[in-house]
C-alpha cells in the first residue's frame, strides 16, 4: 500500500485524448490497494458487459433527479439525453474503504466541485501541443471525424480554463509518458517517494 498521506479525492481533468486514462491506469496497476476510480451515476442503459456498481451506478431519471434535488452530487451534467453525476455518497463509501478516490471529469464538473467546497486536489493533464493532441485522438482510433473536431474545439476551452490561476494544484504536461507518470505519482503520493 502506498503511503498516501492526503486522502482527499484527486480530480484529474484535461482534454479528451491527452492521456488521462493511460496515466491513472498506470497508477492503479502500480498501487492497486491505494487508489480507486470514482463510479459515476448515469441514466443511460448499460452497454454489454457493463456492471452496475462497477462501471456505473445505473439509475432511473427519477432516482437521479431526486438525488440531485437532495444535493447528493458533487457534480453532474447532461450529455445528449443522458444524465451523469458523481455522488457524494459514492466518494464517501469508496474513501471509507481506505482508498483515495480518483475522479476523471471534464471542466464543467471541475467548476462544480470547486464551487461546492467539497475537499479535493486538482491535477490537470495538458498536451505538449494541440497538434500532438489531435495525433493522439486520431491514433486512438475510437472517434469519428465529427467527434474529433468537437473534442479539439472543447480542448481549446479547457486549456484556457486551466490557465486561470489557482484552479489546479498541479499541471502536468503529458509529453513523455514515463516522465508525466512520475510527476503524477509524486503529486498523488505526497511526501517521500513510496516503494510499491
Ligand X SMILES: Nc1ncnc2c1ncn2[C@@H]1O[C@H](COP(=O)(O)OP(=O)(O)OP(=O)(O)O)[C@@H](O)[C@H]1O
Among 16, 40, 86, 94, binds ligand X (CB under 6 A): 16
Q: Does 150 bind ligand X (CB under 6 A)?
A: no
Nearer to ligand X, 31 or 181 (CB): 181
Q: Does 20 bind ligand X (CB under 6 A)?
A: yes
Among 19, 31, 42, 155, binds ligand X (CB under 6 A): 19
Q: Which three cell numbers stand for residue 106?
A: 471534464
The helix (H) or strand (E) run that includes residue 162 is helix 145-162
Q: Does 177 bind ligand X (CB under 6 A)?
A: yes
Contact by Cβ (8 Å): 156, 150: no
Contact by Cβ (8 Å): 180, 25: no
Q: Does 157 bind ligand X (CB under 6 A)?
A: no
3-state helix, strand, coil in the chain (%, to 5): 40, 20, 35
Nearer to ligand X, 4 or 18 (CB): 18
Instruction: Pick out residues in 107-146 that bind ligand X (CB under 6 A).
Output: 136, 139-140
Nearer to ligand X, 112 or 174 (CB): 174
Contacts for 97 with CB less than 8 Å, ≥ 6 apart: 36
Q: What is d(CA 107, CA 123) in angstroms, rounded to the nearest whole number?
A: 12
Sites of contact with ligand X (CB under 6 A): 14, 16-22, 136, 139-140, 174, 177, 180
Amino acid at each position: 500500500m502506498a503511503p498516501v498521506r492526503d486522502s482527499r479525492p484527486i480530480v484529474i481533468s484535461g482534454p479528451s485524448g491527452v492521456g488521462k486514462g493511460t496515466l491513472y491506469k498506470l497508477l492503479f496497476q502500480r498501487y492497486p490497494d491505494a487508489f480507486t476510480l470514482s463510479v459515476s451515476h448515469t441514466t443511460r442503459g448499460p452497454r454489454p458487459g457493463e456492471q452496475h456498481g462497477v462501471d456505473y451506478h445505473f439509475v432511473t431519471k427519477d432516482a437521479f433527479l431526486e438525488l440531485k434535488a437532495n444535493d447528493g452530487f458533487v457534480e453532474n451534467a447532461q450529455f445528449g439525453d443522458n444524465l451523469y453525476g458523481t455522488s457524494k455518497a459514492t466518494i464517501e463509501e469508496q474513501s471509507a474503504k481506505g482508498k483515495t478516490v480518483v475522479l476523471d471529469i471534464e471542466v464543467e464538473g471541475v467548476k462544480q466541485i470547486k464551487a461546492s467546497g467539497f475537499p479535493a486536489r486538482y491535477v490537470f493533464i495538458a498536451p505538449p501541443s494541440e497538434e500532438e493532441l489531435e495525433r493522439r485522438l486520431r491514433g486512438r482510433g475510437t472517434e469519428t471525424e465529427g467527434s474529433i473536431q468537437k473534442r479539439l474545439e472543447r480542448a481549446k476551452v479547457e486549456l484556457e480554463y486551466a490557465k486561470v490561476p489557482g484552479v489546479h494544484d498541479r499541471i502536468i504536461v503529458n509529453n513523455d509518458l514515463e516522465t508525466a507518470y512520475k510527476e503524477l505519482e509524486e503529486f498523488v503520493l505526497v511526501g517521500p517517494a513510496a516503494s510499491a
